[in-house]
Amino acid sequence: MSIYDVIKARHSVRKYTDQPVPEEALGRILEAAQLAPSACNRQPWHFYVIKDEAIRRELFTPEKQVWAAEAPVTIVACSRPADAWVRWADNKNHADVDIAITFEHIVLAATEEGLGTCWICAFDPEHFRKVLKLPEGMEPVAATPLGYAAGDPGARPRKALEEIVTRL
C-alpha cells in the first residue's frame, strides 16, 4: 500500500478477534514508533506492550472501554515530560506532541500490517499508573488495543477541506 492508501484504510476498531498478533508485525510496529521524530530528538517516550489478559482487563474495566481488553495486545504510550523539549517562548512542554507523532506511526504501521487500533485517551491516568506500576515521572498519554478487526466498521465522515483549511 502507498502511504495514502494506509491513511485512507485506517479507522478506529472497537471489536477484535482473538487471533494473536505475529511477533514480526509487532516488532515492525514498535520500530515505526522508534523511528518517529521528536522535538530536538529528545524521544521522551516509553511504550508498554501488554499481552497479559488479566492486566488488559484491569486497565479497561467494565465501566470503561471493556471492548479494548478483547484485543490480544494493548500498547500504552507514556511520556517523560522531564526529558521533553520545552519551547522557550512560552515554556510549552512538547512531550504530548511527541507522543502523538510516535503514536500515529504505531497506528499507521498497524494498518499496514492488517491490524486494527483505536486511540484511547479517555482513561484515568492514576488507574493506569497503578496497574502498570509506572515509575515516577512516567505519564500515560494514550493507549490502543492492537489486533485483527472483527468486521469492518467503515469510514467515519470527515469535514470538507474547505472547513479545515485556510489558504493565504
1-58 pLDDT, tens per residue? 899 999 999 999 999 999 999 999 999 999 999 999 999 999 999 999 999 999 999 9
pLDDT at residue 64 in the model:
78
CA dist list (Å): 65 to 35, 51, 120, 124, 145: 29, 17, 9, 12, 10
Q: Quick one: CA torsion of 154, 16, 20, 60, rounded to 10 degrees?
A: 130
Cα–Cα dist 60/75, whole Å: 12
Residues 53-95 have pLDDT tens digits of 999 999 998 777 899 999 999 999 999 999 999 999 999 999 9
Residue 145 in grid coordinates:
488495543
CATH of 3-150, one of 3.40.50.300, 3.40.50.970, 3.40.1390.30, 3.40.109.10: 3.40.109.10
What is the per-residue pLDDT across 93-141, written as a single tens digit (0 to 9) for each?
A: 999 999 999 999 999 999 999 999 999 999 999 999 999 999 999 999 9
Distance CA 38, CA 100 (A): 10
